[in-house]
Copies of this chain bind each other. A is one copy, B any other.
Amino acid sequence: MTSKSKVVRVGNVLIGGENAISVQSMTKTDTRDSSSTIDEILRLEDAGCEIIRVAVPDMEASESLKNIKKAVHIPVVADIHFDPRLAIESIKNGVDKIRLNPSNIKDKEWIKAIASLGKERHVAIRVGANLGSFNNRPDNIEQALVDSAIDEVRLLEEVDFEDIVVSIKTSDVLMTVLANEHLSKLTNYPIHLGITEAGPLEDSLIKSSVGIGKLLLEGIGDTIRFSITGDPVFEVRAGFTLLKSLGLRRKGLEVISCPVCGRTEIDVLGMVNRVKETFQNVKRPMKVAVMGCVVNGPGEAADADVGIAGGKNSGVIFRKGKIVRVVHGQNLLGALMEEINNFLEKNNDN
């Protein structure tokens, strides 16, 4: 539904309602190795990650959560499958949220026991349905996924548990979109969006962006995760880039750059890479444009805070579409960097 969802607290992050759509990731380390896992989470925090999930496949991993919780600054979610005792232990060990898969933990008494302990300790639960454990594919898969999620939500409500987030993910974009559209009509708990098993970087960015983006544009979704076979830092960056491109978050650097063509007079990609490297941790919203020639120059990028358009052995620097400087000779990159720094100085970014 496009009406506002409920608000659920997960550690120091609020999901749902009018709150900013949060960006999540999941560690790829062995959770039992708390030191590597902590390092990865700290790296993800630097990239802006707001909620982190870790796999908890056994008791040793659950035990490791104690160390992890002490060392990190963002809410930790324990990803639980098959064994409900791992959920109980993870709650005791201090996690902020539990993810349960309704298709592989079905015992109602165990689910209620997890919810009761969760309620006592203010731990949220994500009901995370996927196709993982349908032994036989039902005829109407979307319906079956929605039913399995909603059935578990009702079960949690039976013990007055309401700190619920719901998700339905599949590796199929259209199926995931349909299932979430349906889900959103049946519940107003916050919805966590993602395309699962979306593949390596390029594949996942494409499938996740269209799937998650389509739903966000319909007003569906309160928190997102890009699943990428690769460094989880990509997942976090991608999340923010998508949200920024849809006007749903404003944060840090946004790059506008032409694709380069036979008209290009300058090293667009080199300049873009240097700008991204140098200013990737800027906190304030800032749009920088790098355009290869005058065709799309200042006009196409008129809303850029700082931009450059190349010419023959020269270039123009512009701000909000107005040319502020003409640069001759080779040091276009130096001039652009200088103007970006000037912009940041005037706008008090540290």
A interface residues (Cβ-Cβ under 8 A, vs B): 26-32, 37, 53-57, 61, 79, 81-82, 101, 104, 130-135, 137, 170-174, 177, 196-207, 209-214, 217, 227-230, 232, 234-235, 237-238, 241-242, 245-247, 255-264, 268-269, 272-273, 276, 289-291, 293, 295-297, 299-303, 321
Contacts and interface: CB of A to CB of B under 8 A. Distances in A.
Given A29-B262, A201-B202, 14 more contacts: A27-B261, A53-B261, A132-B297, A132-B299, A172-B303, A197-B258, A197-B296, A198-B259, A200-B255, A210-B245, A214-B217, A227-B259, A229-B258, A229-B259
A84 B26 CA distance: 54
Given A173-B246, A229-B259, A261-B55, A130 B28 contact: no
A263 B131 contact: no
Contacts of A54: 261-262
Nearest to A212: B210
Nearest to A218: B214
Given A54-B262, A262-B37, A268-B229, A295 B104 contact: yes
B28 A262 contact: yes
The 10 lowest CB-CB distance pairs between A and B, nearest first, are A210-B213, A55-B262, A31-B262, A209-B209, A227-B259, A205-B205, A55-B261, A28-B260, A132-B296, A229-B257
Nearest to A209: B209
Given A200-B257, A213-B213, A259-B229, A132 B207 contact: no
Each complex incorporates copies of this chain amounting to 2
Given A227-B258, A259-B235, A263-B57, A300 B29 contact: no
Given A246-B173, A296-B196, A56 B262 contact: yes
Contact of A269 (B229, B302, B303): B229
